[in-house]
Structure 1
Amino acid sequence: MCTTISLDLLVFVWTVFIPMINRLINYTLISLFHYSNIRYGEGVSKEIGMDLQNLGAKNVCVMTDRNLSQLPPMKAVVESLVKNGVKYKVYDNVRVEPTDSSFKDAISFAKNHAFDAFVAVGGGSVIDTCKAANLYACHPDADFLDFVNAPIGKGKPVSGAVKPLIAVPTTAGTGSETTGVAIFDYEPLKAKTGIASRAIRPTLGIVDPTHTLSMPERVAANSGFDVLCHALESYTALPYDQRSPCPTNPINRPAYQGSNPISDVWSRHALHVVAKYMKRAVRDPEDLEARSSMHLASVFAGIGFGNAGVHLCHGMSYPIAGNVKTHSAKGYNLEHPLVPHGLSVVLTSPAVFNFTAPMCPERHLEAAEILGADIRQVKREDAGAVLADTLRQILFDLHVEDGLGAVGYTKDDIPALVKGTIPQERVTKLSPRAHTVEDLSRLFEASMKLY
C-alpha cells in the first residue's frame, strides 16, 4: 500500500499543541513552510507514468547516473513511463558529487530538448542536478552564477516558474526530494556551494523503500551519516528568532531560517529513527524494515533541515569534499577521487558538537540520549563531550575512517580547508556559537584523528 502525505497538514497536526506556538506567531523571521508532497510505499514508482499523464507532460527528461541506469529503480520508472505512453529522454551523465561543469552539461541537455517535466532517479547528486537543469532551462537568459548562493554567486531570487519535477530518491540520506536546495562543487574555488530557493523544490517525491535495497553497504552508511547530521545540525542551529534583520520582502527570506518549533519535531523524530535503525540498515542490505525506516528518516530530516538549516558540519564538509586528492571511496565504483558527502560531513561532527554545546547544552544532551547515551549523571557543561563520545562510538561501530587523516589530509591542509569554509556563510552563520578562523582551524585539527 502507498499513501500521499500532505506535509502541510501533518505539520499543522503535529505542532498545533506545541507550547511555543504562541511565541512562534509573534515573530516574522520564520516564513510559511514549503516542501514537496511525498508519496511513500513499496512499489509506488509504478504510478509515475500516471502522474506525468495527469500533469499533461508530453516530453519528459529522466535524469540518473550511469551506475543507476541499469539498476531496478531506473527500470521501474522507465517501465511505468512506457506502460503509460509517456514520451521521454534519458540523461545518465550525472556526476556523483556534481560540479559546476557537470551541472552545466545537464543544463545544456535540458535546454536543447524543450522538456515540459522532469524526473530524477537517484541520490542527492541526481536530484540536485535535475533541479538545476530545470531551473536554468526555464531561465535560458540567466548567467550560471545568477542563482548561486552569495558570496560565490549573485544569490538572485528565483521569480519565474519552473517545470514539474518528480524526485525518486534511491539513497536514504540527502532528503533532496523535500528541499529547494541544489549543491555542487564550484571547481574554481575547490569548495561546494549551491542554489537555495523554494522555487526549485520537487513537485512530488516518490519514496519507494524497495529502491534502497540496491545501496552498497558503504553508500548506506554514508547516506545515513548525512541524515544523522541533518537532524543534529538543524536541531542545534541558531534559533529562528535570534536571526536578523528581517528581510524587507518575503522573496528575500532565506530557505534556511534557524531552528524552530516546527522543524524541531521533524529533526528530533529523525534522530529517533536513526538511533533505532541505522546500524541495521548498514549491516544487512536485505533488512527492508531498517532500510525503509532510514528512507523515511531521510525525508523527516530533510523537512527539518530544509527549513531550519544546517551549520558547521556541512559548512566544513564542502572543502573536505572539494579538496580531495586521492581517496577512493569504497562502494561507489567511480574513476575519480571521492570523499562522499555524508562522510565528509560526519568526520567533523564530534569536534563540532563539542564546540557548539555551550550555547544550547540541553539540546546536545537530549540528542546524545536519543542516540544511546546515559545522561542521568551528566552535567550541562559536559554536554558537548558526551555527544562527541556518542558520535565517535557510532562511527567506530560502523567502521568509519579514522578522521581526516585517513582520507588523505594532513595539518598542512588546514589553511586550505578553512579558506574553503569561509564562503559557506549560508550555513555557517546558523551555528549557535560564533566562530573565528582560529576556531575553524582548531576544529579541523581536532578532526584529523577520531579514535
Structure 2
Amino acid sequence: MVNQLQSVLHLMKNIGSHCPCHSPALPTHSLKDLHRRSSQSTKTYEYAFEMATSSIRYGSGVTKEVGMDLQNMKAKKVAVFTDKNISKLLPFTTVIDSLSKANVNFVVFDQVRVEPTDSSLLDAIAFARFEQVDTFVAVGGGSVIDTAKAANLYLCHPENQFLDFVNSPIGKGLPINKKLKPLIAIPTTAGTGSETTGVSIFDYEARNYKTGIANRALKPTLGLIDPLNTKSMPPTVHVSSGLDVLCHSLESYTAIPYNLRSPRPTNPLDRPAYQGSNPISDVWSLKALEMCVKNLESAYKNPENPYPQEQMILAATFAGVGFGNAGVHLCHGMSYPISGLNKSYLHKGYEGVAKKLVPHGISVAVTAPAVFKFTAQACPERHLQCAKIFGVDISQKKKEDAGIILSDAIKNFLYKLDVPNGIKAFGFGAQDVEKLVEGTLPQHRVTKLSPEVIDKEKLARLFEDSITIY
C-alpha cells in the first residue's frame, strides 16, 4: 500500500511539473473548451471542486475487523445487506462470524437483486424501516452496496417519496439535508468502486433503463478493501467488473473540466457529486487506468495468481476516488439502456444469478471504442495520454489522430478479454438505435459531462458504430 501511495504522489508531481496547460484554473488540454466558454459568457461557470471519499482500509483479512469497528461505533442494531449468492460464500460468513464474536446485534437482508430495480430498492427500504436499524454493512458487489445506500437514505427520510432524490429529469433530484446512518461497505468484486462514492444506481422499471441517486451524503463511512473477498469471482466476472474500472478511469479523466460546468451552484450543498475532471481526480484516474491495463488480462487468464486480483480491487478503489468526484460520461450514459432494454442475453459466468443480464462493465465497455474516437477532438492530449498507458508509442503521433489511436488500443484490449463483438451480440441492431438513444438522453447526470456536446444524431452514430466493434 505504501508503494502504491508513493506512486500516486510521484504521478501527481509529474502531472503538475510536466504539463503546463494543466492547472486548477484550467484543467484541460484544449482551446476548444475556451471557445465554448467564451461563446457562452452569459453563463455562470463553476470555480471550485470538492473532493469527498469514504475512509478506506486495505489489506488481506481486514474483513474480520468489521465486528470491532461496529463495536467501536457503538452500533445497537446492524443491517447486514448481501445477495443470495454471496450469502453462501466466505466474505459473508467472515462478516457474520466477526459480528458474533464482537456481540454485535444484527439482522440480515439477503434479498438484494443483482442490477437493482426500483422495486428491489423499495423492498430493502421497507426492511430497514421495519427493523429500525442504526447501522448498515454491505457485503457484495456494487448492487449490494448501492442497495444499502438507498435503504439508508430513505430510512433517514421517511417523509420523502422515492423519486424525490432520484436524479433529474426522471426524479426531482432534491438535495439531502440529513446525516445518514453509518455504512460499512465490503466489496466482493473489483469494479464499481461503490465503497468510495455517493452514487446508487438502479433500473427504473417504468422506463426500462438505469438511473440513480447521486449525492456525497450517500458515501459509506468506511470501505474495507480485502483482496481475499474476490477469490471466489469467476474469470468472466473479473473481466466485467474490471472493465467498469477501465471506463471509470477513461471517462473521468476525459470528462469536461470542472470549471466549464454550468451553472455554478448558489449553495455549496448543491454542488453535484460528479463535478468534471479536476487535478486531484486526474491523479487517481490515471493510476487506476494504469493498474487496470497491467493486471486485468492476467486476472482473467491466470486466476491462480493472486497478485493481479489484489491489484484490481485496489484499482477499483482508486478509480472510485477519481470518478466519484469527477464523474463519468458517455460510455456509462449509453450503457443504461443497453442493460435495461436487454430482452434475452445472459452473459457467461452469470448463469446462477439471473435469467438475462448484460453485466454493467460489459455494457459500458462495448461503446468505448466509438465514444473515445468521438470525444478525442475535445481534448486530444488526454486521449493520447490514455493511449500511452495502453502501450502505444505516441511520440510521433498527431493530435488529430488521437481518437482512432485510442479507439484501436481499446479494441485490442477488449478483444484479448473475449468481450462480445458489440451490441449486436446482445440482440440489438440498427432497428433498436432510436430506442437506445431515447434511453440515453435523460441521463443528464453523466451525458452533460461529455467533453463533446451530444445530441440525438451524434448518439445514434455512436450506437451504430458500436453494433460491432472488431
Question: Deviation at 1:15?
Answer: 6.8
Equivalent residues in 2 for 1:26-41, closer than 5 Å:
29-41=47-59
Alignment counterpart, residue 92 of structure 1, candidates 101, 110, 115:
110
Which stretch shows the higher mean deviation, 283-292 or 434-443? 283-292
Q: Deviations over 1:202-247 (max 9, x none)?
A: 0000000011111111110000000000000000000111112211
Question: Deviation at 1:285?
Answer: 2.1
Q: Distance in 1 between matches of 2:100 and 2:11?
A: 39
Equivalent residues in 2 for 1:46-445, closer than 5 Å:
46-332=64-350, 333-445=352-464
- Paired residues in the alignment total 445
Question: Deviation at 1:352?
Answer: 0.2
Question: Deviation at 1:17?
Answer: 8.7
TM-score (norm 1): 0.95
Question: Deviation at 1:410?
Answer: 1.2
Question: Deviation at 1:191?
Answer: 1.1
Gaps of 5+ in 2: 28-44
Q: Distance in 2 between matches of 1:414 and 1:95?
A: 28
Corresponding residue number in structure 1 for 2:30: none
Q: Distance in 2 between matches of 1:366 and 1:63?
A: 40
Corresponding residue number in structure 1 for 2:42: none
* SS at structure 1 position matched to 2:253: helix
Moved over 4 A (4+): 10-17, 19-22
Contact 1:15–1:262, Cα closer than 8 Å, also in 2: no
* SS at structure 1 position matched to 2:388: helix
Amino acid at match of 1:306: G
Q: Distance in 1 between matches of 2:417 and 2:381?
A: 27
Q: Distance in 2 between matches of 1:124 and 1:208?
A: 15
Gaps of 5+ in 1: none
Contact 2:46–2:265, Cα closer than 8 Å, also in 1: no
Amino acid at match of 1:224: G
Contact 1:157–1:251, Cα closer than 8 Å, also in 2: yes
Amino acid at match of 1:58: K
Contact 2:215–2:273, Cα closer than 8 Å, also in 1: yes
Change in 2 beyond 3 A, CA 1:437/1:282: same
Contact 1:11–1:262, Cα closer than 8 Å, also in 2: no
* SS at structure 1 position matched to 2:138: strand
Matched, 1:448 2:448: no
Identity %: 58
Q: Distance in 1 between matches of 2:438 and 2:112?
A: 28
Contact 2:154–2:160, Cα closer than 8 Å, also in 1: yes
Amino acid at match of 1:202: P
TM-score (norm 2): 0.92
